Structure 1
Amino acid sequence: MKEKTKKKYPIVRPEEEWQKKLDPEAYHVLREHGTERPYSGEYYLNKATGIYECRGCGNPIFHSHAKYDSGCGWPSFTEPVSSEAIEVRMDYSHGMVREEILCANCGGHLGHRFPDGPDDRGGIRYCINSVSMDFKEE
């Protein structure tokens, strides 16, 4: 069960609009808090320089300089572009206790945050679904 929030996001759309805007897999992840299969996402091995944006609304969320290969099967980052870009809330689903990462602009589910990142980069790992992002190469 997810921790409920009363937060109002700057971008709000009826579910029918989200379904039209997003392909079925992106809708499942961003709007239904799903996940893509590990090692399957288009950005897992991406090494280009640029900005990762929320696929739901275009909000810049991660820069490629914060991306690293954690070996977990999903794109991993050490920090967002800013603390205002994301929302962190507790996720108690699937019998686990995790920190869920959401887009602060539209509330779309991006992935989870874990305390097992590189020590020399803050010790945090943002484990993000490729399907929840678009990439703008610099």
Structure 2
Amino acid sequence: MKNFLLIPFVVLVTSCNTNAQKNKEKENFPVTKTEQEWKTELTAMEYYVLRKKGTEKAIKNEYNKFYERGTYLCAGCGVKLYESKYKYDSGSGWPAFDRGIEKNLAYEKDVSLGMVRTEVHCANCGGHLGHVFLDGPSQTTGLRHCVNSVSLDFIPERNEEK
């Protein structure tokens, strides 16, 4: 009897997941490219993080302990995402910001790894940036945008205007 009830449950869960994945694939962003175009334009690690929702190693990444003034852009499409004045050392091993440029960010519920998190991605190309947590500085927004360095490019303040 247990197996009889288990089969419809598995079918229901699997079909919901499949439909969610199909809907995500159909999502339209202003910048859209084929997987081959992304693979050609991005490094292997950028592709893994931005397109496959991977995570780079903590601590030894480019922007973890980096505090120059400027703007962080999406490594996939170049849209402005974060300003250095909102960056802080969270101790997590990845760059952390208490806020981003909201019009250029999008959020999605992430239930991978057995927990519920909020994924943050570029609203222009859909590139995965990292996650947002509610353990940021209480004196500001209380948010921690935990972002992969490899998903970002940095433009120093003096070179921002192009």
Would you call these one fold, judging by a TM-score over 0.5?
yes
- 1:41-78 Cα offsets, whole Å, 9 max, x none, are 10111110000000000010000000000000000000
How is 1:79-118 mapped onto 2 (pairs within 5 angstroms)?
79-81=99-101, 83-118=102-137
Separation (CA, whole Å) in 2 of partners of 1:40 and 1:24? 17
Match of 2:9 in 1: none
Separation (CA, whole Å) in 2 of partners of 1:99 and 1:7? 18
Separation (CA, whole Å) in 2 of partners of 1:79 and 1:122? 7
Q: Secondary structure at the match of 1:29?
A: helix
Separation (CA, whole Å) in 1 of partners of 2:153 and 2:37? 19
Q: TM-score, normalised by structure 1?
A: 0.95
Q: Secondary structure at the match of 2:32?
A: coil
Separation (CA, whole Å) in 2 of partners of 1:15 and 1:7? 14
Tell me how far 1:40 sits from its aligned partner. Answer: 1.8
Match of 1:57 in 2: 77
**Runs (5+) with no aligned partner, structure 1:** none
Match of 1:123 in 2: 142
The structure with the largest strand share of the pair is 1
Match of 2:91 in 1: 71
Percent identical among aligned pairs is: 46
Separation (CA, whole Å) in 2 of partners of 1:32 and 1:96? 18
- One-letter amino acid of the counterpart of residue 124, structure 1: L
RCO higher in structure (CA 8 A, sep ≥6):
1
Equivalent residue pairs, number:
137
RMSD: 1.4
Match of 2:46 in 1: 26
How is 1:34-53 mapped onto 2 (pairs within 5 angstroms)?
34-53=54-73
Match of 2:7 in 1: none
Separation (CA, whole Å) in 1 of partners of 2:60 and 2:72? 17
**Runs (5+) with no aligned partner, structure 2:** 1-16, 158-162
